[in-house]
Amino acid sequence: MTAPRTLPNIDFWPERVDLAAAFRWTARMNMHEGVANHFSLSINDDGTRFLMNPNQKHFARIRASDLIVVDAYDPETLAGPDAPDPTAWGLHGALHRLCGHARCAMHVHSIHATVLACLQDPVLPPIDQNCATFFNRIAYDMDYGGLAFEEEGARCATLLDDPQKKVLIMGNHGVMVIGDTVADTFNRLYYFERAAETYIRALQTGQPLNVLSDDIAEKTAQELESYPEQDVRHLAELKLILDEEKSNYAT
């Protein structure tokens, strides 16, 4: 029996199910940070109301019905049940207020992306196809200012004002990935971590890197951006695996 797909008394159920699946798979890949880190998904036209994980709940246990609704303009949200922690509010609230194109946002301290964020030069060169996906599509924050409370969150959000740049390497911190949907954003998060791992492991060999030309890197990035339905099919397959395992993510 597969997990239920509709709960008519809860709004935005398909979006909740997608987001819950992304949480579960992020935990499975060990890209989470205990009970920290946060994902959000806009549910209104201007993006300022969004779904988010409840405070201090492990990604591996999050269900679709657990997700809370947050208003980026209402600080009283922090007084509600399971309210997001102040850093989640600061980072995601600012992002959804200031970057209307950021419909979905996923912030993690995944191992390889964070290693990259800790280098003096965190630029990801196009040394393979996955790395080339992100050529000229990454913003870099080199001015870490402490925990992402409201002021720091707003500063970070301004670095994603270019709609072409959908990854923010948060220096000395982690990574923020944005997108149009859960599938689009999770797919980008997954491949960014893979790209970062390839680069870090290549550096560990001590051998010279074989970096693609700018022209080929840009061509590859554009080809992958237009590749049909990879993000949708990717998330759909992950949900099918969870369903076959009788996971309760979609409850």
| Domains of the chain, start order | 13-244 (3.40.225.10)
Mean pLDDT of 208-216: 98
Q: Which two tokens stand for residue 54?
A: 């409840």
- Give the C-alpha distances (Å, rounded to integers) separating 214 from 58, 64, 70, 139: 40, 42, 41, 17
Residue 4 has pLDDT above 50, yes or no: no
Torsion 237-130-225-137 (CA) sign: positive
What span, in angstroms and rounded, lies between the C-alpha atoms of 126 and 131?
A: 5
Per-residue model confidence as pLDDT tens digits over 63-121: 999 999 999 998 888 787 778 888 888 899 999 999 999 999 999 999 999 999 999 99
Residue 147 has pLDDT above 80, yes or no: no
What span, in angstroms and rounded, lies between the C-alpha atoms of 71 and 157?
A: 16
Residue 172 has pLDDT above 50, yes or no: yes
Residue 3 has pLDDT above 70, yes or no: no
| Whole-number pLDDT of residue 7 | 52
Element containing residue 99 per DSSP (H, E): none
What span, in angstroms and rounded, lies between the C-alpha atoms of 125 and 214?
A: 10
At residue 125, what is the residue type? P
What are the E-state strand segments in 72-210? Answer: 104-108, 138-141, 167-170, 174-179
Using the structure block, give the residue that is written with the tokens 């990454």: 138
In 10 A of CB 113, how many CB atoms? 28
Mean pLDDT of the chain: 92
Mean pLDDT of 215-223: 97
| Whole-number pLDDT of residue 153 | 83
Angle at which helices 230-244 and 13-28 cross, to 10°: 80
| Whole-number pLDDT of residue 9 | 66
Q: Which two tokens stand for residue 74?
A: 């209402």
Query: In sequence order, which residues have a C-beta less than 8 Å from that of residue 8 and are 6 or more positions away?
Result: none
Angle at which helices 230-244 and 182-205 cross, to 10°: 90
At residue 251, what is the residue type? T
Q: Would you say 189 and 108 are in contact if contact means Cβ atoms under 8 Å apart?
A: yes
